Amino acid sequence: MNSRFIAYLNYPARWGVSSRLHPAIQKHVILCNLMSWVIVHFNTAYLLYDAFYFGLALRSLTSALIILLPLGCLWLNRQGYTFVSRLLSSFMYAALVFFYGLLIKFFVHPPDLIHYLSPRIPLIMFVFFPFLFLDFNRERAAFWGAYLLNIAYVVLYDPLHTLLGIDMAHFGLYLKNYGVMTQNSITFLINISMSFAFLLELNRRYERRIRKLNKKLRKKNARIFTQNETLTLQKEEILALNNHLEAMVEERTQKLSERNQQLADYAFWNAHKLRAPVASILGLFEVMQLEENRVGYPQDTLMLHLFNTVKALDQVIKHMQVLVEEES
């Protein structure tokens, strides 16, 4: 229930807030929305109470006009016209209450009513406005300064006139109900102060929550950054290893190509150089086995051919051994 109530109070808080705006301006827009939202509800309750129990159309009309302006500001923020909305919230809202009070004074002449409306309510409402247009780092000091000045003015307004001997009747302000009016003013001030204190506390809670979330996000970002660096290093190591493996594969491929070429050379030697003396030896043995060649062909000549052929075979084998030793 509490979370729903807080969510309802913050329902229009982000209207008009864009990431393109300066952070201080975003804060101003949020405060303007919250202020307008609270004013709508307070004055709606006052309007219903006033119209139901007293039936005073003029005072109810005042509340109705006061309600319409913050609603217009909220609508402007929703449409993205935040600057216009902030100007309206800053100046025209208080001016509406003040000049409407003057209008009642000159045309309707209810002295007690104008005493209540002008100038107390406009000055009390200005408590909300100064900090909206200041730098975010100075907002609190500016707000509390304006707040204390307004409290002093409201509390000391009537006593100062009495002490200074100013005849308020000369200005059309009759203090017949001095005590009631002072109590009403102070009560109104207390209500507004409590409402704004609640908004401040609510805003602080959300700021603390946002700071915690930002802290967690920063930690996660740092962790992700560290992991990215680790992954980058691992990627570089893997790329270096892949390059080394590719170089090794190319080297092995080159060696295999060379060995294949050696095998081809060996096959050529076996087929031609080595095969020729072996065939000659076999032929000589066949000739020696033939009876007619033994008689008709000199034996020493065959042995000489056989010796030369074996010698040639020995040279071929030595040459192949030299090739193998060079390759290895």
- Residues 211 and 293 reside in one and the same domain: no
**Which tens digits make up the pLDDT trace of 164-177?**
665 655 555 555 55
Residues 6+ apart with CB under 8 A from 110: 104
Residue 267 lies in a domain: no
- Residues 18 and 87 reside in one and the same domain: yes
Describe the crossing of helices 299-327 and 275-289 by its angle, rounded to 10 degrees.
160
pTM of the model: 0.40
* Least confident piece of the model among 55-59, 113-117, 137-141, 284-288: 113-117
- Chosen domain end from 209, 227, 245: 227
Residue 255 lies in a domain: no
Describe the crossing of helices 139-163 and 178-268 by its angle, rounded to 10 degrees.
180
- Chosen domain end from 195, 227, 259: 227
- Residues 283 and 169 reside in one and the same domain: no
CA distance 125 to 39: 10
Residue 243 lies in a domain: no
- Chosen domain end from 193, 211, 227: 227
- Residues 205 and 303 reside in one and the same domain: no
- Residues 180 and 316 reside in one and the same domain: no
- Residues 75 and 182 reside in one and the same domain: yes
User: Which uninterrupted H or E stretch holds 139?
Assistant: helix 139-163
Domain containing residue 310: 274-328
- Residues 214 and 288 reside in one and the same domain: no
**Which tens digits make up the pLDDT trace of 24-51?**
778 778 877 887 888 788 778 777 776 7
CA distance 135 to 319: 96
Domain count across the chain: 2
CA distance 17 to 204: 18
Residue 84 lies in a domain: yes
- pLDDT in the model for residue 114: 45
- Residues 312 and 174 reside in one and the same domain: no
